[in-house]
Amino acid sequence: MKVIAETVGIDIRTVGLTRMDWLKRGFESLVDAPRSGAPRKITPEQLERLLDAAEKEPLTAKALLAKHVDAGGTLVHLNTLTQALKKAQFVWKRTRSSLKKKETKPLSDLPK
């Protein structure tokens, strides 16, 4: 068991527990047990539809959420949507108009 633990890079106790579970339950031991926590708020079908919409046209997160709800999707918090898209490797960039608003004006343009 020590050789297996070193080869795989896990603790020897994990190897022992996994082996004991295998001897008791066989192939059933390979299936993960249900995890605790809240169920997902966006179904896989809804997520796929969101990813397609995000790829087709560049929308803000709010506009994408509105489009999602209009298509019959579940109303979720904006953070839930952005986390799902970030997990799918989407990158959010600020729109040009918001960049102009945040620009600092040169001192020569300020009123005297």
Q: Which residues contact 65 (CB under 8 A, 6 or more apart)?
A: 76, 78, 81
40 C-beta neighbours (distance < 10 Å), count? 13
Q: What is the pLDDT of residues 2-34, one digit of tens each?
A: 999 999 999 999 999 999 999 999 999 988 888
Q: What is the pLDDT of residues 38-66, one digit of tens each?
A: 888 989 999 999 999 888 988 888 999 99
Token pair in block for residue 87: 């997990």
CB 1 within 8 A of CB 12: yes
Q: Report the distance separating Cα 36 and Cα 47, nearest Å.
A: 22
Where do the H-state alpha helices sit in 57-111? Answer: 61-70, 78-87, 96-102
CB 64 within 8 A of CB 90: no
In a 3-state reduction of DSSP, which class is residue 38? coil
